[in-house]
Amino acid sequence: MISKKNIKSRGIVLILCLLLAGVTCAQTTVTIQEKENAPIISKHIYGHFAEHLGRCIYGGFYVGEDSNIPNTNGVRTDIIEALKELKVPNLRWPGGCFADTYHWKDGIGAKEDRPTIVNQWWGGVTEDNSFGTHDFLNLCEALGAEPYLAANIGSGTVKEFTDWIQYVNHDGESPMANLRKENGRDKPWGVTYWGVGNEMWGCGGNMTPEYYANLYRQYATFMSSWNNDKGIYRIASGANVDDYHWTEVLMRDIPKHLIEGVALHSYSFVEWNDKGPAANFNEKQYFKTMERALNMETLITKHVAVMDKYDPDKKIDLIVDEWGGWYNVEEGTNPGFLYQQNTMRDAMIAGATLNIFNNHSERVKMANLAQTVNVLQAVILTDDEKMILTPTYHVMKMYAVHQDATLLPIDLKSDKYEFEGNSVPAISASASINKEGVAHVSLVNVDMNKAHKITLDFQKMKLNKATANILTSAKVQDHNSFENPNKIVVKEYEDFKFKKGTLELEVPAFSVIVFEIK
């Protein structure tokens, strides 16, 4: 329960009632209230991740300047435009596991002179390094997104790391600044966000948290912003799912002046050794995947409790820089490329997870969906010149209204979605109010079978106009394809009643609705 102390009288009360066989069941209640000193929902929660993995970079983002596909400096123009529509706030690169085998100097200078690299993590393919630092940072400029560089700790050196920072940030005479100018870029990009390694408990080196904490301290000590106006923001490689001990050691052993963020990674799937099909799944597979996705609430709550123990003033942020659905690859594709379809189940994962992040925005300040193009829970899929937008893309676009808005805290008592004796909350919700005083409420019904009737009481907010958009489809397995790219699109939702400050509607099974209330 949210305490009523220091809470303004203005509020929203949502009463949700499940209808089953014509009989009204117990009500589910969501109370949304304004609260003094409520946190801002950082736009960076809506970040993305682009790794050198499968067809995310080569054949996805990057087709080369000589391609017949319209491009801007080798990057597909249609992808740039689609991501600008999404208001992508930040983009993480070059990995992932790939980051700790990546040596940045291999990706600068004349493209014809760059050495090749074998991607030992993802498919064993040989890459020519034609997409490097300049290409990525120029892409971020085109998108209006902050770059988030994941640097090589596993197989690199302190000097290699700090040279990279100097190369992209130093605005004067220095060896790396001069090298950047020789390569055609006069002014620095000013990169603020830096990951100090990736998954150091696994592919980053199979380290213990104690060893990594000491290594982190060494690297962070030599990291300078080089007069970047926004400073430097150092993100420690954080825990794998529920490894709370890892978070404990980092928070305990790393001095507070050397760290700004701690990462967390968690994916949603059926079972690790058999993640299940991306599209032709059954209800058992759907339920297990949603059960794991909704567990993000528990993960964040428990990791934040550890962080609060050592950082009660909340100076260090939680950064969920890898999240999303992970399934078996599509039949006939390279198993190392992690290419999968994207269905209404993925829309459920996206909507519910973003609601969780919004509601924990006091500590969660950045998150990165894995991944942007052609890999895992992608927002964009490509096939030669063709491009489609996935259900996940549409949810991210619907939720963009929450970026940098003030959180409206909620007290949620949800009815259950039950399957074979187990249950998860059927309804997920979050709300915010922007600087113009416009409120937005995002609702997700993860129940695969049943609609939920909802009553929203806005009388205390003195609101008189509501509009809404919905994302839903006939089957939860439905997806957009290159043959039918608009099977699932956002539509205006008008099937609600708004009278005397009360709004009544029914949320269909497996659907996402975002309301705007003025």
d(CA 502, CA 405): 24
Q: Which of 322, 362, 483, 504 is catalytic?
A: 322
Q: Which of 34, 127, 199, 260 is catalytic?
A: 199
Residue type present at position 2: I
1-39 in b/e burial notation, b at 16+ Cβ within 10 A? eeeeeeeeeebbbbbbbbeeeeeeeeebbbbbbbbeebb
Phi, psi of 284 (to 5 degrees): -60, -45
Name which of 408, 417, 392 is nearest 512 in CA terms. Answer: 392
Distance CA(515)–CA(500), nearest Å, equals 17
**Residue 66: exposure state from Cβ atoms within 10 A (0-12, 13-18, ≥19):** exposed
State both tokens at 66: 């000589």
Number of neighbours of residue 313 by Cβ within 10 angstroms:
7
The pair phi, psi for residue 403, each rounded to 5°, is -60, 125
d(CA 75, CA 57): 9
Cα separation, 488 vs 472, in Å, equals 7
DSSP state of 102: -
Ordered alpha helix ranges (H), 69-226: 77-86, 133-143, 158-169, 175-182, 209-221
Return the DSSP state at 396.
H
Whether residue 475 contacts residue 342, with contact meaning beta carbons closer than 8 Å, is answered with: no
Coil, strand or helix at 373: strand
Paired strand residues for 498: 503
Name the helix (H) or strand (E) containing 513: strand 511-517
User: Strand 502-507's sheet: what is its strand order?
Assistant: 410-413, 23-35, 7-20, 452-457, 502-507, 496-499
User: Which backbone phi and psi does 324 adopt, to 5 degrees?
Assistant: 140, 180
Distance of CA 125 to the CA centre of its chain: 27
| Catalytic residue flag (residue 199) | yes
Looking at the DSSP assignment, which residues form a beta bridge with residue 494? none
**Residues marked as catalytic:** 199, 322
